[in-house]
Amino acid sequence: MQTLNSFSSGLPKNIHKKVTKEIASFYDVKDFELKSISVSDELNSLLIHPIKEKNLFQITISGELAGYAYVAKAPSKTDEFDYLVLFDKDLIITRSKLLIYREDYGAEIGSKRWLKQFIGLKEGASIEYGNQIVPISGATISAESITIAINQLLQSIAILNENGLFN
């Protein structure tokens, strides 16, 4: 299943392992390539939330583009959590996954049922916690945080696409 080592993907080993497992499971494959997408400083300056080095990836299977992966951190009450968003070739969210949650409360945001709300959202879509995204009692800060993060990601992906990054 391992396609690139954690040093070539730029992700910490524990995160890389979870990302590769999730991608392999989603696409039902053992072999795929995860290639980091570089975003120029000029393009990053247009984004609300700049894309950091080595957290946006192209996924290829047998040499064919399968989609994209985005790995990042978002704030929780006293710490941060790591999450993954998978996009198809058309930049539509196909899966979101909580990778590591470091709080005693609020881990409910990692439930597949709650995260399904993000599936099908397209680049440029605008979402709001409490409107399009159902709140979670006891996980308000984390749930709102991931909603804001994904909203900003969708806006950023639209700008990157408009500027030819995915062509």
Q: Is 143 exposed, middle or buried (0-12, 13-18, 19+ CB in 10 A)?
A: buried
Paired with 158 in beta bridges are: none
Q: What is the pLDDT along the chain (167 residues), one digit of tens a residue?
A: 334 433 356 789 999 999 999 999 999 999 999 999 999 999 999 998 889 878 999 999 999 999 999 999 999 989 999 999 999 999 999 999 999 999 988 889 999 999 999 999 999 999 999 999 999 988 899 999 999 999 999 999 999 999 999 97
Q: Encoding tokens for residue 49?
A: 């939330």
3-state secondary structure of 47: coil
Distance between terminal CA atoms of the chain? 28
**Residue 84 is inside which H or E element, if any?**
strand 80-87
The dihedral over CA atoms of 18, 45, 115, 26, expressed in degrees to the nearest 10, equals -40
- Distance from the Cα of residue 58 to its chain's centroid: 12
- Yes or no: say if 51 and 44 are a contact pair by the CB < 8 Å rule: yes
The dihedral over CA atoms of 98, 38, 166, 21, expressed in degrees to the nearest 10, equals -30
